Amino acid sequence: MPHSTPALTEADRLMTVCNSCRYCEGLCAVFPAMEMKRAFTDGDLNHLANLCHSCGACYHDCQFSPPHEFNVNVPQTLAQVRTESYAHYAWPAAAQPLFARHGMVLALGCVLTFVLFLLGFIALNEPEMLWSAHLEDARFYALMPHNAMVVLFGVAFMWMVFAIFMGARAFWRDAGAPDLSMIDHAHAAHDAARLTYLDGGGAGCFNHDDAPTDRRRLWHHFTFYGFLLCFAATVLGTAYHYLLARSAPYPWWDLPPLLGIAGGIGLVIGPVGLLIAKKRRLEAISTPGFYGMEYGFIVILLLTGVSGLALRVLGETPLLGVLLALHLGAVLTFFLTMPYGKFVHGLYRYLALSRYARDKREIGLG
Ligand code: SF4
Ligand code: SF4
């Protein structure tokens, strides 16, 4: 079957080899999902690629991996297909080149938004307020009114949600847009929440020292749940403001700060662990050409976590204004670039897991 890119063509070749071999079928969801097909469309291969966690187990176990002439490197090829699929489905299409330059876009975005927030704080107030806002009752709202924050971040958030929805819709259509039951969603949510298939069939992820570990899953969990806790803190803070007429800042023991602190710690520990884990990964299964996206996503999460915690610890000092500009700049950059970077992998993986659960159910295995 002809394919639209060299990576998809190579993935088709590998899946055909693997479908004859089937040695790795117990390692993850990719191989059982592959076995349900004899021929692969682009949508099928993108589906399989988004089931893969790049644990490296099938590369390590494969008798046909390089230097064998079959040159079977499933993790590297599926990683290439997966990262190209993010760009392929991105909306609008004109934004697709942003994936290849994601690291640079994030760096420029953070610097630009930081400077613009600083200039905005000075333009809206007396310049000296930048260093004295911590003495005001309203603290950060003395620098930027609450409604202005809501409008700015609300618009960015809605744009992000819409763009990601459009990309996910294209991904799902390419996968055949199968009907899903609640059971399929429950299976997918369970596997996504636990990262069931990230452990290489139980051994863990493979590194250049040939000693597999399960830490990559741990760092993913810190990052994912840290992000969710920060999101919950923001939603709860908004409810406090509009429903209970209670404005920030809140004392540290109140629920929004507690959620935010726990989430911020997760967003520091998780990304630092992921950065270290990335350095230790097997070179042979990495995807050259996408390092900016891979590292940029982790670094922006880390910057969000660090600046949020710093704001909590140093928010009653003259550094409030600078830290607020840094934190708001990081969050705004993150929101605006979410549809054009690694963030989409979580949603595409969930959709791939949903289709996998549905396909299994269809043949009586679910
Ligand atoms: S990766 Fe290698 S060992 Fe595993 S199923 Fe494919 S060909 Fe067989
Ligand atoms: S999840 Fe691991 S075992 Fe499965 S295809 Fe990807 S690298 Fe191979």
Q: Which residues of the chain have pLDDT under 70?
A: 366
Domain boundaries, the chain: 94-179+202-343
24: CA distance to ligand 1 center in Å? 6
Q: What is the pLDDT of residue 114?
A: 97
Q: Is the CB of 58 under 6 A from ligand 1?
A: yes
Q: What is the pLDDT of residue 261?
A: 97
197: CA distance to ligand 2 center in Å? 8
Q: What is the pLDDT of residue 36?
A: 94
Q: What is the pLDDT of residue 24?
A: 96
Residues 6+ positions from 90 with CB-CB distance below 8 Å: 96, 98, 99, 163, 167, 339, 340, 344
pTM: 0.92
Q: What atom in ligand 2 is closest to the CA of residue 57?
A: 3
CA gap 215, 221 in Å, rounded: 10
Q: Is the CB of 11 under 6 A from ligand 1?
A: no
Among residues 338, 312, 308, 341, the alpha carbon closest in space to that of 326 is found at 308
Sign (positive or negative) of CA dihedral 187, 193, 198, 200: negative
Q: What atom in ligand 2 is closest to the CA of residue 53?
A: 1
Tokens of 359: 């396909």
Residues 6+ positions from 288 with CB-CB distance below 8 Å: none
Q: What atom in ligand 2 is closest to the CA of residue 75?
A: 7
Q: What is the pLDDT of residue 366?
A: 66
Say if residues 8 and 81 touch (Cβ distance below 8 Å): yes
Ligand nearest to the CA of 54: 2
pLDDT by residue (tens digit) across 271-312?
A: 999 999 998 888 888 877 778 898 999 999 999 999 999 999
